[in-house]
Chain A
Amino acid sequence: GQNIDQPTEMTATEGAIVQINCTYQTSGFNGLFWYQQHAGEAPTFLSYNVLDGLEEKGRFSSFLSRSKGYSYLLLKELQMKDSASYLCAVSYGQAGTALIFGKGTTLSVSS
C-alpha cells in the first residue's frame, strides 16, 4: 500500500531553524510536494522535488532522496506566521497526477 509518515507535532521559537521530515513508501514516484495549511484554510503550495537534492526558495528549502524514500522541509528564520500544518504529499502515478498526503505536521512557533 501507499504510506507517508511525518511527525504529528513540532515546536520551535522565533528566529530558529526547524526541519520537518517525511518518509514515504509508494508504488511508483513522480514527485514530492510540500504544502502549508493554516487552521481553517486551504493548503497552499510550498515546494516540489522530483530529483534528488535540495531546492531552495527564500526561507524554505526542501530536500529529496528517492533511494531512501525521504524528504525534509527546512524552515529558517522562523516567524510567528509560520505556525501552521505542513503537509508532505507524493504523486505516484496510479491515479494520474493525484497526490497522496501524509497526515501533516503541526508546527507551533513561540516568541
Chain B
Amino acid sequence: IAGITQAPTSQILAAGRRMTLRCTQDMRHNAMYWYRQDLGLGLRLIHYSNTAGTTGKGEVPDGYSVSRANTDDFPLTLASAVPSQTSVYFCASSDSGLYGYTFGSGTRLTVV
C-alpha cells in the first residue's frame, strides 16, 4: 500500500441497505477526512478525525457515521442508504495540514 487506499472502487446499492466504505492509509497521518463530491456542489466534508480515537461532524454528516479505532483506518458507514447518498466519496489524510492533503482514488456509490 502506498498512500491511501479506498474500497470498493464503485458500488451499486439498494436503498435501505447498510454499507461501509473502507479507507486505509500507510503514511501515519494523524488526521483523516471523508468528503462527498457532487456535480455543481463540489467537495463537502462529511466527518473528520484529528487523531485516533476522536471524530467530528463536518458540513453534511446526517446519515453517515465513522469510527477511528487506530491511526490507519477510517471507515464510513451508511446505516440505511438513500438515493440522495449517490455520490463520489473521497477519503483524505494529512499530517499537520500544512502541506496539503492526500486523497484516495474515490468510491463511486450509486443508491437505487
Contact = CB atoms under 8 A, between A and B. Distances in A.
Interface of A: 30-31, 33, 35, 41-45, 48, 50, 87, 89, 91, 95-104
Interface of B: 31, 33, 35, 40-45, 48, 50, 56, 58-59, 90, 94, 96-106
B58 A98 contact: yes
18 contacts: A33-B100, A41-B105, A42-B103, A43-B103, A44-B103, A45-B101, A48-B98, A87-B43, A89-B43, A95-B56, A96-B56, A96-B97, A97-B97, A98-B48, A98-B56, A98-B58, A99-B101, A103-B42
Contacts, number: 62
B108 to A, nearest CB: 9
Contacts of A91: 97
